[in-house]
Each structure stands twice: as structure tokens, then as C-alpha cells.
Amino acid sequence: MIQRANAPSSAPQPRAETVRQRVYLELRRAIEQGTFKPGTRLPASRAQAQTLGVSRNSVLWALERLQSEGYVLARVGDGSYVADDLGALGSPSTGLRPAVGAGLSQRGQLIADTVLRWNPPLQAAVPFRIGAPEVATFPFALWDRLARQASKAQRMAQAQYLDPAGAPALRAAVAQWLWVSRGIRCEAAQVVVCSGSQQAIDLIGRLLLDVGDEALVEDPGYPGIRASLGGHGVTVRPVPVDAEGLVIDQAATHWPAARLAVVTPTSQFPTGVRMSLKRRLALLDWANAQRAWIVEDDYDGEFQYGTHRLPALCSLPHAERVLYVGTFSKTLHPGLRLGFVVLPHALAGAFAMARALSDRHAPGDAQEVLARFITEGHLLRHLRRMRELYPQRQRVLIDALAQASAGRLQLQPSEQGLHLLHELPEGQNDQALSIRAQAAGILLTPLSRYTITSPRRGWLFGYAGYDTAALRAAAAQLGAFYMSSHFNTI
């Protein structure tokens, strides 16, 4: 299938003609660039429409136009195929780009094809895009002051090639922070600094799994994880998520050869469910019995707003096969591009050298400033402010949407996370309202965007990164759309 945008385009697309033109251009580009090769059967129009979040009529219109232009052949009762005689599309004489996969190895093609499974958003965050923390009140002046306090000798040292595992000061600060904040006992030598959690997942896939190995992922779940694993030739196995988290017993029965499971136990992405203690212990038992690995992605574990905070999965007994992945993209801001993975001592050296093979090391000055930001207590103070601010914004969102929809769109409050989920009855379409919101500049993500085989549907409302005025304005606009749609009868 052609790519499904992870977040809608910021450019308004209010008319049906504009939407179908976009579908046509995407399909044509996929054919011209070799994503769909000559003779390839195209995905069914209904499946393509669901993937793109558009009406089936828009896809049918695009296919008809491509057929009239000679790109596509329709076979009665057998679907649509790319024409067989398009080999010249990639030649220099046509002026068109050669196929994306031209000259790539099999693994290279797998990596290039990740765009079919995940396309990270590029535009600025606006309501209700998820995953965006508060940045307007980030203490940039304090950060700059800490950077200026480095001596010339320290700056000269940071300007050299550095340890790929990370600056010693930062690794020590992270280890200390994890013990205080998440109950994790580890040593600095077990911490490998990464460019966010995505690089940590990439390293895990490269070093611990072989082509064809099976990995369990949550369904619904984060597409960046399964795209990364798939890019390494790993077979991704979707596992349902219920009110207690990943259903590991079902996964163990269906996929007994799985060598790894990736979970978000503190606040499941995107449903927000907390994994129960019973399910956590069952997951640990599975990993120890199978000699498999568990990846604990604790992407927003610092944002728990209740009286009691849930400790990390890897803080439990017998959690030696848990790899803990953390990031500062949510606690501070995503532009920092710093995260980490906590590993057994025996793996830390290999992970550090694998990182060195790809990008050598993280910027030294940013690591040193972050280390001081943590050890001098600034991270704790910043998180305290955010833990007060985010529940306030959550309440504003809930009240504003209820008011704008005359009480018909009721979001349930949550004691953790940066977004809320409004789930629809099974079988409902969650794409139509998202498309209408997109045309008005509102990023309302459908739950179906994060599913593989799961029938669950709904909408995700990010609130953390937007002030009160922005949340209320977007809620008022969305509420009007909701009231004029068939959803207000649900």
C-alpha cells in the first residue's frame, strides 16, 4: 500500500476533489518510483481507502484516471494491476526518478519500505496532535546558562570524539535518576545513550534478532516500533491489548517461537492502559522460560498524576531479561534527541559499538548540559511543573469538548499520559471526522492508524503541548463537526 501519513498534512484540503487528486498523485508517484512495480497487483480499493483515511470513491476515481493514462490495467474480477510496459519510467530519458529500490540490497529495500508502515510527522504541533510536550515554558534560559558555564577545557574535551556509550557524567546521572524516579537499580556502565527511543529500538533489532525472527508487539501500538523491526527483516506478530495490557498468554500460544516482546506497560500506547501486576509477572515468566527479551518502552512513564506512581517493569524481581528504553523527548523536548537504553552488563559494549558504527556518539555539549540539568535538580523541578500543568490541561480539554458537543463527546480522565482516547463501538468508522478536522487544521488522530489486525476504533486527543486558549478553540471547532456528523448518535 502507499504510505499512510502518521499525522495529517497542515495544508487545508477542504474539497473532495482535492482529496481524490492527492490520492491520484500518491498512487502515481508510488508507481513511478517503483514502490508498485510493473505487473504488481494493487491493493483493493476498500483497503487502500482505509489506509489513507479517505472515501473509497476517492480511490476509485484515482484508479480510473491512472487507467485512462495507461499506468493501471483493470482485470475484471481480479482487481487492478500496474501496467507491464512501464520499465522505461526509471530511465534517464523520461526525466522521472528511478525506482526507490533500485540497487538496494534486500535489507536495504526492507528499510526503504518502512515508509509503507510509518511516516513520522514533520509539521509543527497543533491540537490535538499526540506526543507533543509543553515547550513554550521550557527553561531555555537556564539551559543556555548551564551551557555557558562550561570552561574552555571542558569545551575542548567535548569537541573531541567521545565514548559512543555516552558521556560518563550523563550515564551516571541517568542511573541515579532512574533509581529515584522509577525504582530501577542499575549502574552507569549499563546505560547506553541514544538519539531518542527510536534509535534504541533500532539497536535492539540489529543486535538481538535475526532475519525471520518473531517479535511480539502491542495491537494497537506504536507504528515506529514495528516499522523498525520490520526494516531488519523481523516478523512482527500483533498481540491484542485488553484492560490489563498485552495478552501474553494468547501470544505465547499463537507465537511460541517469538524471541522478543515490546511493551509500554506504564501507559500503553495509544490506549493509556496500565499493565496489571498479574500480567507483568506473566510476561516476565514468559521471557525467562523462553529465553526471550522484553523491551520496556517507558516513553512517558514520568507523567503519572495520581497519589501512587507505578514503578517500572524492570524494577520487579526476575526482570533480568528486560531492556529498559527511556527518552527525554517527552520529559524535556523532542528536539533534544537524547534517550537511553539500560542493558545487562554483557550487552552494553556491543550496543555502544553498534551505535558507533552508525553515528559515532551524541553531541558532547548537549550531554554535559543534560547531566548537570539532572544532577542539579532542574529536571525534577521541571517535571513537577509539568505534572501540575498537564492535568489542568486535561480537564480543560474534557470540559471544552463536552460543552462543544452538548455532552455527547465525553472523554474519560486519566491519571497518566499526554493524551486521551475516546473509543468508539467496534465497527465504527474513525476516519471521517479526522479528515474533516484535518481540513480545518486540527490534528485528530484515528485509533485505526495504530492498529494491525485489531478492530478497535476511536480518536486520540493530545493535550499536553497546547495552552488553554488553543485547546478550547480546537474543541469548539471539532464539537461543531461532531454535532453535524452521525457520530453524535453514538
Residue 343 DSSP one-character state: -
- Assess contact for 200 and 341: CB atoms under 8 A: yes
Q: Decide if pLDDT at 215 tops 50.
A: yes
Of residues 242 and 485, which shows the higher confidence score? 242
Give the chain's end-to-end CA distance (angstroms, integer).
31
Question: Residue 386 and residue 434: Cα distance in Å, rounded?
Answer: 28
Q: What is the pLDDT of residues 66-120, one digit of tens each?
A: 887 788 888 766 788 888 777 555 444 433 444 445 578 877 877 777 766 677 7
- Dihedral (C-alpha) 112, 118, 124, 130: value to the nearest 10 degrees? -160
Question: Residue 51 and residue 46: Cα distance in Å, rounded?
Answer: 9
Cell 495490557 locates to: 245
Neighbours of 381 (CB within 10 A): 13
Q: Determine which helix (DSSP H) or strand (DSSP E) holds 357, and give its type and residue range.
A: helix 345-359
Question: Residue 136 and residue 302: Cα distance in Å, rounded?
Answer: 19
Give me the pLDDT at residue 88, please.
52
Number of residues assigned to the chain: 490
Q: Decide if pLDDT at 182 tops 50.
A: yes
Q: What is the pLDDT of residues 115-163, one digit of tens each?
A: 666 777 777 889 999 999 999 999 999 999 999 999 999 999 888 998 9
Percent of the chain whose pLDDT exceeds 70? 90
DSSP-derived secondary structure for 391-448: HHHHHHHHHHHHHHTTTSS-PPP-SBSSEEEEEEPTT---SHHHHHHHHTT---EEGG
Q: CA nearest 139: which of 379, 374, 302?
A: 379
Question: Residue 195 and residue 206: Cα distance in Å, rounded?
Answer: 16
Give me the pLDDT at residue 488, please.
54
State mean pLDDT over 451-468. Answer: 96
State mean pLDDT over 367-396. Answer: 97
DSSP-derived secondary structure for 191-237: EEEESHHHHHHHHHHHHH--TT-EEEEEES--HHHHHHHHHTTPEEE
User: CA 207 from chain center: how many Å?
Assistant: 21
Of residues 7 and 210, which shows the higher confidence score? 210
Q: Decide if pLDDT at 465 tops 70.
A: yes
Give the lowest-confidence range in 35-44, 199-208, 352-361, 386-395: 35-44
Give me the pLDDT at residue 92, please.
44
Residue 317 DSSP one-character state: T
Q: CA nearest 365: which of 177, 139, 169?
A: 169
Question: Residue 26 and residue 405: Cα distance in Å, rounded?
Answer: 35
Give the lowest-confidence range in 178-182, 272-276, 348-352, 363-367: 363-367
State mean pLDDT over 293-310. Answer: 93
Give me the pLDDT at residue 54, please.
75
Left, alpha or beta for 70 (phi > 0: left; psi -120 to 50: alpha)? left
Give me the pLDDT at residue 118, please.
74
- Inter-helix orientation angle 378-404/364-375, to 10°: 90
- Sign of the Cα pseudo-torsion (280, 283, 287, 290, in order): positive
CB within 8 Å of 446: residues ≥ 6 apart: 53, 430, 431, 434, 457, 458, 459, 460
Q: What is the pLDDT of residues 391-446, one digit of tens each?
A: 999 999 999 999 999 999 999 999 999 999 999 998 788 988 998 898 899 999 99
